[in-house]
C-alpha cells in the first residue's frame, strides 16, 4: 500500500511538472503589447487602491474577501464608507480579468510608492525555485540577460534576476533563487 501511494505521488508530481512550462520572453512581450491599454488601466486603479488603503503591502485576488487579512481589517472598515472604493474594486476585477489574471500583489518600497506584481509562472521545491512576472515599478531593476533566461541551468544554486523593460513602467521580471539552507545541505552532501 505504501509503495502504491509513493508511486501515485511521484506520478502526480511528474504530471504537474510537465504542465508547468516556462513561457518564452517573446510570448510575454506579445501578450503585454496586445493588452497594453488594460495594463495601463490596471496601473491607475491598483495604485489608487494601495494609496487609499495606506499599507505597504497588499495581496489581492478577484472576488475574495479582503477581510481575511487581519492587518487590514480596521483600515478596510474605514475605506468601505467611501462608495467610490467598492467601484474601484469592481474595476480592478474587470481589469484583471481582461488580461487573464486572478490576483496580484501591490507594494510600496523605498524607491516607489506603487509597485504591482502579476505572477505568470513559478516553480519551486525545498528552497529552490524560479518565477516570472509582469512587474510595474519593481523594487530592483537588473539588466536583461539572454544567458540567464535561455541558457541558465535551472538546477544550479546561483541566484539570478533580471527585469526586461516593456512600456510605461512595466517589466518582465525573472527571479531564480536558492535558499542558504538548500545550499548548505547540498554542500554537506557533496563532502
The predicted pLDDT at position 16 comes to 47
Interacting residues of 163 by C-beta distance below 8 A, sequence separation 6+: 135, 138, 140, 141, 142, 143, 144, 171, 172, 173, 174
3-class secondary-structure state, position 93: helix
Separate counts of helices (H) and strands (E) for the chain = 7, 6
pTM: 0.75
Question: pLDDT per residue over 111-139, tens digit each?
Answer: 788 999 999 999 888 778 889 999 999 98
Q: What percent of the chain has pLDDT over 70?
A: 67
Instruction: Read off the pLDDT band of 151 (50, 70, 90).
Output: low
pLDDT of 38 strictly over 80 = yes
Amino acid at each position: 500500500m505504501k509503495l502504491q501511494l509513493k508511486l501515485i505521488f511521484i506520478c502526480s508530481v511528474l504530471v504537474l511538472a510537465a504542465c508547468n512550462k516556462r513561457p518564452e520572453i517573446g510570448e510575454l512581450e506579445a501578450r503585454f503589447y496586445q493588452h497594453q491599454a488594460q495594463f495601463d488601466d490596471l496601473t491607475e486603479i491598483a495604485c489608487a487602491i494601495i494609496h487609499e488603503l495606506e499599507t505597504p503591502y497588499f495581496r489581492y485576488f478577484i472576488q475574495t474577501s479582503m477581510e481575511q487579512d487581519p492587518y487590514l481589517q480596521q483600515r478596510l472598515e474605514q475605506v468601505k464608507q467611501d462608495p467610490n472604493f467598492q467601484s474601484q474594486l469592481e474595476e480592478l476585477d474587470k481589469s484583471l480579468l481582461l488580461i487573464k489574471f486572478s490576483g496580484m500583489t501591490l507594494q510600496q518600497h523605498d524607491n516607489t510608492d506603487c509597485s504591482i506584481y502579476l505572477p505568470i509562472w513559478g516553480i519551486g521545491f525545498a528552497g529552490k525555485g524560479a518565477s516570472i512576472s509582469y512587474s510595474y515599478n519593481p523594487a530592483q531593476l537588473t539588466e536583461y540577460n539572454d544567458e540567464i533566461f535561455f541558457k541558465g541551468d535551472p538546477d544550479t544554486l546561483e541566484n539570478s534576476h533580471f527585469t526586461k523593460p516593456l512600456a510605461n513602467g512595466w517589466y518582465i521580471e525573472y527571479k531564480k533563487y536558492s535558499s542558504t539552507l538548500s545550499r548548505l545541505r547540498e554542500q554537506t552532501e557533496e563532502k
